[in-house]
Structure 1
Amino acid sequence: MLEKLFSFYPGNYSLEDFTYAFSPDNPQFDLVLGIALLTFFLGYIEYIYSFQLVRREKSAPYPVWMHTFYFAHDSMGAIVFALASKTTGGFWFFTAAAVALVIWNLFEVYNLYKCIYVERQEIWGHLHDEPVSVKEAWFRVIGQIIIFIGVVNLFRVFMNDPYMFKWFIFTNILIAIAPGFYWEKRKTQIGASYKLAIVILLGTINSFTPLNMWVLVSDYFSFSNNPWFYLIGIVSIGFAIRNIVVLKKMSQKPSHMEDGTKTVW
Structure 2
Amino acid sequence: MSHYDRITQEFTWDNSPLLVAAGAAFLIGYLQYYYAIKLMLTDGKGPMPVWMHIFYLAHDSSFSYTLGRDSSRFGGHFFLLGSSRAYALWSALEIWCLYYGLRYHRMETFSSALGDRAACLGNSLRYTIFMLAAMYCAVLMVASMLGEGCMLHWGLLTNTIMIVGPTHEYMRRGSRDGLAVGFCVVNIACVIFTFAPFSMFAQTFPETFATKPFYICGSVLLLYSFWLLAIVVGYPPKDKERSKSN
Length-normalised TM-score, structure 2: 0.92
Q: Name the SS of the counterpart of 1:210 in structure 2.
A: coil
Q: 1:151 Cα deviation (Å)?
A: 0.5
Spell out the pairing of 1:54-93 with structure 2 (5 A cutoff). Answer: 54-93=40-79
Query: How far apart in 2 are the matches of 1:16 and 1:221?
Result: 15
Which of 1, 9, 12 is equivalent to 1:23?
Answer: 12
Change (3 A) 1:60 1:158: same
Query: How far apart in 2 are the matches of 1:144 and 1:153?
Result: 14
Which of 86, 89, 95 is equivalent to 1:109?
Answer: 95
Q: 1:147 Cα deviation (Å)?
A: 0.5
Change (3 A) 1:97 1:130: closer
Q: 1:15 Cα deviation (Å)?
A: 1.7
* Farther off after superposition, 118-127 or 171-180: 118-127
Judge conservation of contact 1:254–1:263 (CA < 8 Å) in 2: no
What amino acid sits opposite 1:236 in the alignment?
Answer: L
Gaps of 5+ in 1: 1-11
Change (3 A) 1:61 1:154: same
Could you tell me the percent identity over the aligned residues? 22
- Tell me if 1:14 matches 2:32: no
- Tell me if 1:205 matches 2:192: yes
Q: 1:163 Cα deviation (Å)?
A: 2.8
Query: How far apart in 1 are the matches of 2:45 and 2:88?
Result: 24
Query: How far apart in 1 are the matches of 2:233 and 2:116?
Result: 34
- Tell me if 1:235 matches 2:224: no
- Tell me if 1:145 matches 2:126: no
Change (3 A) 1:37 1:125: closer
- Equivalent in the alignment of 1:195: 182
Query: How far apart in 2 are the matches of 1:164 and 1:206?
Result: 16
- Equivalent in the alignment of 1:119: 105
- Tell me if 1:264 matches 2:245: yes
Q: 1:216 Cα deviation (Å)?
A: 1.3
Judge conservation of contact 2:118–2:124 (CA < 8 Å) in 1: no
- Tell me if 1:48 matches 2:34: yes
- Tell me if 1:170 matches 2:157: yes
Runs of 4 or more, structure 1, over 4 Å off, are: 128-131
Length-normalised TM-score, structure 1: 0.86
Judge conservation of contact 1:73–1:152 (CA < 8 Å) in 2: yes
Task: Report the RMSD for the aligned CA atoms in angstroms.
Answer: 1.9
- Tell me if 1:185 matches 2:172: yes
Q: 1:128 Cα deviation (Å)?
A: 5.4
Q: 1:130 Cα deviation (Å)?
A: 5.9
Q: 1:59 Cα deviation (Å)?
A: 1.1
- Tell me if 1:156 matches 2:137: no
Which of 226, 231, 245 is equivalent to 1:246?
Answer: 231
Gaps of 5+ in 2: none
Change (3 A) 1:31 1:122: same
Which of 96, 119, 137 is equivalent to 2:82?
Answer: 96
Query: How far apart in 1 are the matches of 2:117 and 2:143?
Result: 39
Query: How far apart in 1 are the matches of 2:168 and 2:176?
Result: 12
Q: 1:46 Cα deviation (Å)?
A: 0.5
**Count of aligned pairs:** 245
Q: 1:263 Cα deviation (Å)?
A: 4.7
Q: 1:206 Cα deviation (Å)?
A: 1.3
Query: How far apart in 1 are the matches of 2:192 and 2:240?
Result: 30
Name the larger-Rg structure. 1
More helix by share: 2
Query: How far apart in 1 are the matches of 2:110 and 2:81?
Result: 38
Change (3 A) 1:80 1:220: farther
Q: 1:38 Cα deviation (Å)?
A: 0.7
Q: 1:153 Cα deviation (Å)?
A: 0.6
Change (3 A) 1:132 1:17: same
